Amino acid sequence: MDIMVLPGDGIGPEIMRSALRILEIMRSNFNVKIESQVYDNINARNIASGKVTLDYVLDEARKYRAILKGPMGDPNIRTKEGVEAGLDIILGLRFNLDLYANVRPIKLLPGVQSPLRDYGDGSKTIDYVLIRENSEGLYSSHFGGLILRDDVAIDIQTITRKGTERIVRFAFELARRSKGNAYGEKVVTCVDKSNVLKSFYFFRKVFTEVARNYSDVKYNFMYADAMAQFMILHPEMLNIVVTENMFGDILSELAAATVGGVGLAWSGNIGDDRAMFEPVHGSAPDIAGKGIANPTAMIMATSMMLDWLGYSREAKIIEDAILDALRSGVRTPDIGGKVTTEEFTNEIINRVLRR
């Protein structure tokens, strides 16, 4: 099976090299039948100049079942409309390929201290999944928002029954397969603002209808502003969280901060027939080329991709190797260590081979 590989910009090519080295080890030693087709030409500079278009990217992406993507974009490289180059590609892939479920594991890794008191010292941990509806909500207005007479800006939030039903089912099915929260409870939390907006009232209504089909999974509700507080005060009580696109974007960044920052956060954009896996941090052009980028999120995204493609055992081997390395004190400078990107990758590979 071939996969599409988009190294991206800034530190993207560096951390993608780490991921591809590990994929090669999995091919050579664990019978993982995956070949990587690398698209170096899809980057911010080519997008901004018009050498690469969204239509070209979509035509190529439709040839593959899985996409492995590095961070794409650069704050200093923008399109003629003033938008950061790369954003149209990222959102275009999600919307046009119908990758409707953005799955963000929020996991405090060993050896990483949370900024939250008592989390990461062995007494409490953070381990839940935030699922963001990826195909509609407020962000669906990105390709159709209006600015009228340079006086009024209008973005419309779209919530459909079909879109809500399938993301809620996705959340409950994931909860069924999970080990639950810190208290062993399998529970899905619906996050909305149904007290203010009719669109969110509808989201909650459809959520409730779907939830009634899962008698083995608990469910509850929380307003988005209250959830921002709850994620700080009681993250151990969370299992699966499901919400609209923009709320999911904001809350997932807050969640990442509680487990050490976006440098340790990864995600999958899942559809019915294909998926895209990526770290959620930016391209960090300020440290590009220095060899100190943390490849953890990129490698964990690779592990997540293998699991989705049916290589669950091999995915677990990679994840265990990362956790063991971090537990042993192998860390890049962003999390208090001194090892380089290459040295960190070598440590992961050595642990993978020992297994």
CB 104 within 8 A of CB 252: yes
CB 220 within 8 A of CB 181: no
- Tell me how far apart the alpha carbons of residues 222 and 48 are, in angstroms, rounded to a whole number: 40
Q: Which own/partner contact pairs does 326-333 have at CB distance under 8 Å and 24+ positions apart?
A: 326/109, 326/110, 326/111, 326/112, 326/296, 327/110, 327/111, 328/111, 329/111, 331/111, 332/292, 332/293, 332/294, 332/295, 332/296, 333/292
- Tell me how far apart the alpha carbons of residues 333 and 115 are, in angstroms, rounded to a whole number: 17
Q: Which residues of 223-253 are buried (b: 16+ CB within 10 A; e: fewer)?
A: bbeebbebbeeebbbbbbbbbbbbbbbebbe
- Tell me how far apart the alpha carbons of residues 34 and 11 are, in angstroms, rounded to a whole number: 24
Digit-coded pLDDT (tens) for 319-334: 999 999 999 999 999 9
Nearest C-alpha neighbor of 345 from the set 298, 312, 311: 298
Residue 179's contacts (CB-CB under 8 Å, 6 or more residues apart) are none
Per-residue model confidence (pLDDT) at position 19: 98
Cα atoms in the 13 Å half-sphere on the side-chain side of 268: 20
Per-residue model confidence (pLDDT) at position 146: 63
Nearest C-alpha neighbor of 227 from the set 218, 217, 240, 215: 240
Residue ranges, the chain, pLDDT below 70: 121-123, 141-146, 148
Nearest C-alpha neighbor of 38 from the set 26, 50, 25, 23: 23
CATH homologous superfamily, domain 113-258:
Isopropylmalate Dehydrogenase (3.40.718.10)
Provide the angle, in degrees to the nearest 10, between the axes of the packed helices 296-308 and 341-354.
Answer: 40
- Tell me how far apart the alpha carbons of residues 84 and 349 are, in angstroms, rounded to a whole number: 35
Provide the angle, in degrees to the nearest 10, between the axes of the packed helices 312-327 and 296-308.
Answer: 160
**CATH classification (class only), 1-104+262-355:** alpha beta
Per-residue model confidence (pLDDT) at position 79: 77
CB 117 within 8 A of CB 154: no
For the chain, the domains span: 1-104+262-355, 113-258
Q: How far is CA 157 from CA 151, 203, 278, 296, in A?
A: 20, 12, 26, 34
Q: Which residues are registered as beta bridge partners of 74? A: 77
Per-residue model confidence (pLDDT) at position 355: 80
CB 71 within 8 A of CB 11: yes
Per-residue model confidence (pLDDT) at position 153: 84
pTM of the model: 0.92
Per-residue model confidence (pLDDT) at position 240: 98
Are the folds of 1-104+262-355 and 113-258 the same?
yes
For residue 321 the two structure tokens come to 């190797």
